[in-house]
Structure 1
Amino acid sequence: METPPFVGNGKALVNAMGYWPSFHDANVLEAERNTDSFSVTIHLFAMTDEVDSAGYFVLEKHHRIKILMHGVQSSSLPATYAGDCLDSLTFVQAGEYLEVEFASHMGQDGTIVCRSVEIAGIVPCDSKGAALAPN
């Protein structure tokens, strides 16, 4: 999957993860709506092909990612959106707007239509999504 060229600071996310992620099974930790902006904080990680002793895939590269959407024109996400587990998160150019499509494992699908999108923060975290203290 290629980094969408219209996502501000997208290369920083690629540097942290090693590739542009699909956001599959990523957890939405926080969501905040303002007058014309929307932000989400997501616990993102990479799944390896290794299996632990309990039979679960080993996860690595845990990060808390903050995504800001500016100039929001519309949203079809639930009014109380948060606590979601994503199937995917996609970014699509739609004329002069961008569409951020949230595909949910929990029935909370929706799309934010906005003027711009940026990766506003990338913080290493533990396997539960809690930010790690800087060294």
Structure 2
Amino acid sequence: MEKDEIDWSAVTNWFGHMHNFHDAEVVSIDIRRDPEPSVIRIYAFRMNSDTDEHGYYRLDLHALVTFSITGIREFEIQNWNQQNALMCLEISKAENGYRLEMEGAYGVDGYLIAESISVTLEPWQA
């Protein structure tokens, strides 16, 4: 892995592929001044094609994905509410760093541009 690439291995090892964070929920956004890292935490899961006894798609592989962010240069967040479900989350290369974009399905959406972003994951008991 190149030094200037995001290490998604925690996510791909847990889910078995790259996750697009569809229907994941933003649990918290903690923006701090440097040198302290800012943190975005997202509850994610795998949605299966089979359904439960109530007709809902069966969910498993529940996890809390944490994005630790340093060197924020631009930041815009809107529509925070009680759920904050995402359509998707994407991170792309930007000049001298990365752009993290959250497309909201219901609630929060926005973006930030920062020098570095790291990704960790811990299992979540749903």
Question: TM-score under structure 2 normalisation?
Answer: 0.86
Report Cα offsets for 1:29-68 as digits up to 9, x if no partner: 1110101442111111001111111010001110111111
**Which residue does 1:12 correspond to in 2?**
10
**Cα displacement (A) at 1:95:** 2.5
Which runs of 5 or more residues in structure 1 are unaligned? Answer: 128-135
Per residue, is there more strand in 1 or in 2?
2
Aligned pairs, number: 121
CA contact (8 A) 2:96 2:115 kept: yes
Partners of 1:32 and 1:53 lie apart in 2 by 38
Which amino acid is the alignment partner of residue 22 of structure 1?
Answer: N
Report the 3-state secondary structure (helix = DSSP H, G, I; strand = E; otherwise coil) of the residue aligned with 1:22: coil
Which amino acid is the alignment partner of residue 70 of structure 1?
Answer: T
CA contact (8 A) 1:6 1:117 kept: no
**Which residue does 2:114 correspond to in 1?**
114
Partners of 1:34 and 1:26 lie apart in 2 by 23
Percent of residue pairs bearing the same amino acid type: 22
CA contact (8 A) 1:81 1:108 kept: yes
Partners of 2:79 and 2:40 lie apart in 1 by 14
Cα RMSD (Å): 2.0
**Which residue does 1:99 correspond to in 2?**
99
* Superposed structure 1 runs of 4+ greater than 4 Å apart: 79-83
Which runs of 5 or more residues in structure 2 are unaligned? Answer: none
**Cα displacement (A) at 1:81:** 7.7
Partners of 1:82 and 1:35 lie apart in 2 by 25
Determine which of 18, 26, 29 is the counterpart of 1:28.
26
CA contact (8 A) 2:63 2:123 kept: yes
Which amino acid is the alignment partner of residue 90 of structure 2?
Answer: T
Change (3 A) 1:83 1:6: farther
